[in-house]
Amino acid sequence: MSETEPQSTDILLPGASVTVFSKDEDTLKSAETLKEDWRYSRVDVACHEGDVDAAIEYYRSAGTSPELIIIQTEDVGDSFIEKLGELSEFCDENTSAIIIGPVNDVYLYRQLIEMGVSDYLVKPIKPDVMSEVVAKTLINKLGVSGSVLIAFLGAKGGVGTSSLAQLGAWAATEKLGQKTIILDAAGGASSLGVGLGFDPATSLSELARTVESNNEETFNRILHHASEKLTAIAGGSDANLDASITAEQFESILDALMVKFPVVIVDLSEAEATLKRRVISRAKQTILVTTPTITSLRLSRSLIKEISEVRGGDKDSISLVVNMQNLSKVNEVSSSDIEDALEFSVSAHIPFLPSVFLKNESETKGILSDKEGVSMIEAQINPLISKFLSANDEINENSGKNSGIIGGFLTKFTSK
């Protein structure tokens, strides 16, 4: 079985085409279940009854091939390897391949490595194995498998989401040593430049156009380097009353960032609903910020339900943070009552520290030299962020890879 990390593939997958060729009824049924997986809502899955010969005939006249071809074979001898090579002649260069075979064979493994096959599975293939391996392959092709996307979302305005997002970014870099970029999806309402000390140099729409044109020089100019490892997008020049970019454009920005940065943090506190939904569907973790007030907690309960629905019922990707604890003990909901009322565990309680957070308004990094601020970060923010990064030990600063049927690599030798 492929050693996939479920958390790393538990995102809405990019638009892609996957074609399966198999004569095995159970394999075809496993492939059909991909269409029911919420992660595959943008993936076109086609199943054909046949083997490598059927694939050769199909793509001989098709003119184009999908991002991923899955072929099941009962013959793992030299003739199959030759036919796989023949198939490659009719496939696009960036097409990846997964092979399903009858035996765990080291010699076959080595041959497939040389041909650039992405993965090898040994039948029978259960649906959960199929979905994880295909998801891993598609994410590898996008070049973001080593990148962690963390979204900060507020239950309502004024709960301190932006401050915590910025502190989370500093924690990831200064305390955990990860190369990180932070992006505010609020457009002209962004306060990121104030805390990190830069003037807005671009708008979200200009950023999207820069990414689309693949203009590396312009892209680098709109980055603000807050420290050796923390980078921010110098956005915020958008007109507040104009329409923002589409969810698809924002996602293209995320794709570009996740190829370059191991940790990407997005502040969704003032973002449009469509952007929030798209980022949440892609994020490894959504940190929902609330306060211990009835209004904020009521909205939190609704958001927990909505986020879970966006992610196919998954609640493990949500972390609830209660900010401004002890602002007014008499009027706020107690910690134990919060969890009982929401039926959801609180991941962190952030105390009300007005002097610390007011300093954040003018200089976020200043908190790192404030004794009370450092104590709060180490006790609450560091454990929260490190929990998401610890499962990603293989994070690297440039994880982009292309795996094609020729010239690629075999990531794991798989058996089930």
pLDDT tens per residue, range 321-373:
999 998 888 889 998 899 999 999 999 999 988 777 776 666 666 666 678 77
What pLDDT does 359 receive?
Answer: 65
Contact 41, 15 (CB under 8 A): no
CA–CA gap between residue 221 and residue 228 (Å, rounded): 16
Of 340 and 416, the structure prediction assigns the larger pLDDT to 340
Global pTM reads 0.76
What pLDDT does 261 receive?
Answer: 87
Of 91 and 108, the structure prediction assigns the larger pLDDT to 91
Is 293 part of a structural domain of the chain?
yes
Residue of 141, 195, 83 whose CA lies nearest to 411: 141
Residues 6+ apart with CB under 8 A from 358: none
Query: Residues 54, 130: one domain?
Result: yes
Which of 3-7, 112-116, 302-306, 324-328 tops mean pLDDT?
A: 302-306
Which of 44-58, 100-114, 162-176, 358-372 tops mean pLDDT?
A: 44-58
What pLDDT does 30 receive?
Answer: 94
Is 1 part of a structural domain of the chain?
no
Q: Return the SS3 of 408.
A: coil
pLDDT at 403 over 50: no
Query: Residues 54, 139: one domain?
Result: yes
What pLDDT does 140 receive?
Answer: 80
Query: Residues 83, 203: one domain?
Result: no
Mean pLDDT of the region 187-197? 83
CA–CA gap between residue 8 and residue 145 (Å, rounded): 7
Query: Residues 182, 277: one domain?
Result: yes
pLDDT at 387 over 70: yes
Query: Residues 245, 320: one domain?
Result: yes
The tens digit of pLDDT for each residue in 195-210 reads 788 888 889 999 999 9
User: What is the CATH classification number for the domain harbouring 261?
Assistant: 3.40.50.300
Query: Residues 115, 158: one domain?
Result: no
How far apart are the two ends of the chain, measured CA to CA in Å? 5
Query: Residues 256, 274: one domain?
Result: yes
pLDDT at 411 over 50: no
Query: Residues 122, 172: one domain?
Result: no
pLDDT at 291 over 90: yes
Contact 181, 264 (CB under 8 A): yes
- Chain centre to alpha carbon of residue 340: 30
State the total domains in the chain. Answer: 2
Query: Residues 75, 173: one domain?
Result: no
The tens digit of pLDDT for each residue in 124-172 reads 999 999 999 999 888 887 656 568 899 999 999 999 999 899 989 988 9
Of 268 and 262, the structure prediction assigns the larger pLDDT to 268
Is 181 part of a structural domain of the chain?
yes
Beta-strand pair 68-72/148-154: unpaired
pLDDT band at 189 (very low <50, low <70, confident <90, very high): confident
pLDDT at 9 over 50: yes
User: What is the CATH classification number for the domain harbouring 21?
Assistant: 3.40.50.2300
Q: Position 60: which residue type?
A: R
What pLDDT does 119 receive?
Answer: 86
Residue of 152, 198, 149, 218 whose CA lies nearest to 178: 149
Residue of 263, 231, 236, 41 whose CA lies nearest to 152: 263
Residues 6+ apart with CB under 8 A from 48: 19, 20, 21, 22, 54, 55, 58
CA–CA gap between residue 400 and residue 255 (Å, rounded): 10
Where in the sequence is the domain holding 281, given as residue range(s)? 148-389
What pLDDT does 398 receive?
Answer: 39
CA–CA gap between residue 71 and residue 251 (Å, rounded): 31
Is 395 part of a structural domain of the chain?
no
Of 20 and 4, the structure prediction assigns the larger pLDDT to 20
pLDDT band at 93 (very low <50, low <70, confident <90, very high): confident
| CB < 8 Å & 24+ apart, contacts of 47-53 | 47/19, 47/20, 47/22, 48/19, 48/20, 48/21, 48/22, 49/21, 49/22, 49/23, 50/21, 50/22, 50/23, 51/21, 51/22, 51/23, 52/21, 52/80, 52/83, 52/84, 52/87, 53/83
What pLDDT does 362 receive?
Answer: 62
Is 396 part of a structural domain of the chain?
no
Residue of 105, 106, 88 whose CA lies nearest to 97: 88
- How much is the mean pLDDT over the chain? 84
Q: What is the DSSP string of 204-265?
A: HHHHHHHHHHT-HHHHHHTEEESSSSEEEE-B--S-TTS----HHHHHHHHHHHHHH-SEEE
Is 157 part of a structural domain of the chain?
yes
CA–CA gap between residue 198 and residue 225 (Å, rounded): 9
CA–CA gap between residue 401 and residue 116 (Å, rounded): 12
Contact 304, 153 (CB under 8 A): no
Mean pLDDT of the region 5-17? 73
Beta-strand pair 43-49/68-72: unpaired
pLDDT at 392 over 80: no
CA–CA gap between residue 24 and residue 201 (Å, rounded): 57
Q: Return the SS3 of 46.
A: strand
Query: Residues 354, 285: one domain?
Result: yes
Of 285 and 399, the structure prediction assigns the larger pLDDT to 285
Query: Residues 131, 213: one domain?
Result: no
Query: Residues 356, 239: one domain?
Result: yes
The tens digit of pLDDT for each residue in 205-247 reads 999 999 999 888 888 889 999 888 999 998 888 877 777 789 9
Contact 317, 387 (CB under 8 A): no
Residue of 343, 345, 342, 370 whose CA lies nearest to 358: 370
Range of lowest pLDDT (23-32, 104-113, 289-298): 104-113
pLDDT at 377 over 90: no
